[in-house]
Amino acid sequence: MVLNMMKLREANGLYIGFLWAPVELETVIKSELSAFSTTEFQSWRSSTDYDKPHEIQPPTYFKTNDVTAVPQLITNTYGVPSYQEANPSVFSVVTFPFLFAVMFGDYGHGSLILFIGTCMVVFHDYLKNTAMRDVQVFRYLALMSGFFSCYNGLLYNEWFAIPYDWFNSCYVYNPLPPASTGYTFPYIDFVNSPEAPFTP
């Protein structure tokens, strides 16, 4: 695919191609390509065409680490930000686990996720050499999701889907009386009654 994107100069088998690379990787790229005698990478930097103005849109390059790799992957799934555009994955490092916890706010279930995430972070050096190596990339996401789930679970007073009254709840739970008590709901004519809050 890359060779098809290159231009063939005349018919002598000389291909000309342009590429983008991070400046800090220039030394590494030169050393890797120096083993190929047919590649003239050394002359690209000194070429007079390098600094000429052009209308080619540079590609996007984001440095990632163990914390930002998964949010960046999620962001790239929906669309890669343009060159010099704000990277939303930086904000989603915190907002994604928190919004997950808004949906999954449970102190009991959240503590299980927090425990698993903590074990994955603490024992990373051991687990990366086992069958858990493929899921180790999600360890910080699991840790933060579990933390925020516990936090929102305390706010919701939810413990394993049970309304556990850690604090006084802002919700008022008044179940309806059973039908056997003969309780009837009061009827108020909101149009003709003097207790009506509105008058026609």
Instruction: Identify whether residues 79 and 118 lie together within a single domain.
Output: yes
Instruction: Identify whether residues 42 and 90 lie together within a single domain.
Output: no
* Residue 88, domain extent: 69-163
Residue for token pair 């050499």:
129
Instruction: Identify whether residues 42 and 124 lie together within a single domain.
Output: no
Contact 168, 158 (CB under 8 A): no
Give which of 16, 11, 13, 10 is closest to 41, Cα–Cα: 16
DSSP states of 10-67: TTTTEEE------GGGHHHHHHHHTT-TT---HHHHH-TTTTS---PPPPP-----TT
Residue 183 belongs to some domain of the structure: no
pLDDT, tens digit only, all 200 positions of the chain: 766 777 666 666 677 777 777 778 878 887 877 777 666 654 555 445 555 666 777 788 888 888 888 888 888 888 888 888 888 888 888 888 899 999 888 888 889 999 999 998 899 888 888 888 888 888 898 999 999 998 888 888 888 877 766 666 555 555 555 655 555 555 555 555 555 555 44
Instruction: Identify whether residues 141 and 88 lie together within a single domain.
Output: yes
Q: Measure the CA–CA gap between 172 and 55, rounded to whole angstroms.
A: 63
Contact 129, 81 (CB under 8 A): no
Instruction: Identify whether residues 91 and 131 lie together within a single domain.
Output: yes
pTM: 0.60
Give which of 73, 101, 102 is closest to 89, Cα–Cα: 73
Residue 188 belongs to some domain of the structure: no
Instruction: Identify whether residues 38 and 85 lie together within a single domain.
Output: no
Instruction: Identify whether residues 83 and 14 lie together within a single domain.
Output: no
Q: What are phi and psi of 96, to 5 degrees?
A: -65, -50
Give which of 110, 174, 103 is closest to 144, Cα–Cα: 110
Residue 86 belongs to some domain of the structure: yes
